Structure 1
């Protein structure tokens, strides 16, 4: 696990890089704060007694997302190239099937660097923030914590059917993330059965919604909108700012989120590395 000292060093470097580039980096602090022991997923470079380069690897089954940064005063010295080389080597050892490099859409330095990497743009992901909106009561949909083996199996099948993971990847990812202290796994019930799921991460006055999905055969019935509205109301009553992420190509999901009061404010580009 990463120590508080290392986490603070990462946050300090992140603030410097974001201020200089006027952008936002996706460093997944909920995952950084819950790293498993003996997993080589984070890579550091120190100079002059301080952290000047960091790269994090985030595994979702056999898919890995990679995001990193280098202090503005220490760029063009090969630091990021070395960090990425080490991360890619580890990804190959772990037999990662898909490797995605993540960069803020507005980052010019990232785009210049990526010109030298054998990769292609795979997707664009929007970060969205909820704006105060009147939401209706929805008694026909129930939200509850996930706790049983049946719930776990439903979560795995939702990841397979809605996010394109194969079953082995879905089970591995669920095993790795099911005990994160900052997360709450929720089951959505409607029409007398499990209809979907989502994961909430509450940190630093913010609530992030991840993995929101409804079984394909139950989509288009308003279940997703009702479930999202219900969760948003609860989180808003706690005084939390509410965020989520959605792929740009998922127009249906984008429209759903907008109908509940979410607005896009930032985007991340994902480049698939050609192995």
Structure 2
């Protein structure tokens, strides 16, 4: 079988469309929902190859995507269901290992969905993988919320002047390194497809949420509230205002993920009308 393998720092527009076609077919067959991030703008080293592709003729039949905002990389490997068990996933992984060996990656996590694991029970054993974490992917439609305006809170799209404030409380909320949070905030503010919506109280940023619009859904991420302002309904207010604004601008539905054991956040999203659609699992190689 004549398969052409290639590694790239970024996907071209044609590659992105081919990847979306591959993912659509995979989701139809596997009844899955989660997509890998098809850009490298958050990776800690943009010179590192982040995408490894397999093409047969002009059709993408395999993709390995690397998400590595730090040295702990997350891999998503997708193979066209019609071409599985032909060594394509193994070849993509071999290419990744050989071409990223010098970039200082300290650990690897593989990302897939619970339904795939449940329907392929030998998968974990055959590849010597251990399930480490689980997230819930939740979805919301395009119905705007009725929101009673709060005069103590102002919601707007963040600009460069808000970056350091966002990084400060996000690093505290997510227990991340400040420099990593600062890079996230700068990249997201600079990227028109992923605006950061912020809530201001007395002129200070007290909460934020980001929205990636690069796919067929608005993917919400980076929800954080300053610890001094939690319990005041600010997250709910910010999310409703953000969702209403995005519905008006692009009318796409919404996805977000929440850690399976974060019951507080799960209950908040459920109260806002989000529904669970799948479970995302993270796997590591057994030592």
Q: What residue is the counterpart of 2:56 in the other structure?
A: 47
Q: What residue is the counterpart of 1:223 in the other structure?
A: 234
Contact 2:40 2:50 in 1 (8 A): no
CA deviations on 1:222-249 (whole Å, 9 max, x unpaired) are 1111111221222233433222221111
- Shift of the 271–251 alpha-carbon distance from structure 1 to 2, 3 Å rule, reads same
Contact 1:135 1:260 in 2 (8 A): no
Check if 1:115 corresponds to 2:125: yes
Check if 1:20 corresponds to 2:32: no
CA RMSD of aligned residues (A): 2.9
CA deviations on 1:83-123 (whole Å, 9 max, x unpaired) are 12333455553323443211011114766433344543232
Q: What residue is the counterpart of 2:136 in the other structure?
A: 126
| Shift, 1:207, TM fit | 2.1
Contact 1:61 1:170 in 2 (8 A): no
Q: What pairs up with 1:73-222 in 2 under 5 angstroms?
A: 73-89=82-98, 92-108=101-117, 112-131=122-141, 132=143, 134-139=145-150, 140-149=152-161, 151-174=162-185, 176-190=187-201, 192-203=203-214, 206-222=217-233
Question: Normalized against structure 1, the TM-score is what?
Answer: 0.85
Q: What residue is the counterpart of 2:261 in the other structure?
A: 249
Question: Normalized against structure 2, the TM-score is what?
Answer: 0.81
Q: What residue is the counterpart of 2:5 in the other structure?
A: none
> Which stretches in structure 1 are left out of the alignment for 5+ residues?
none
Check if 1:2 corresponds to 2:11: yes
Distance 1:33 1:167 in 2: 18
Contact 1:123 1:249 in 2 (8 A): no
Distance 2:164 2:121 in 1: 40
What is the SS of the residue equivalent to 1:82?
Answer: helix
Distance 1:160 1:81 in 2: 36
| Shift, 1:268, TM fit | 1.1
Deviates more, 1:4-13 or 1:102-111: 102-111
- Shift of the 236–257 alpha-carbon distance from structure 1 to 2, 3 Å rule, reads same
Deviates more, 1:253-262 or 1:18-27: 18-27
Deviates more, 1:248-257 or 1:191-200: 191-200
Distance 2:101 2:186 in 1: 21
Q: What residue is the counterpart of 1:56 in the other structure?
A: 65
Distance 1:166 1:69 in 2: 31
Distance 1:90 1:179 in 2: 29
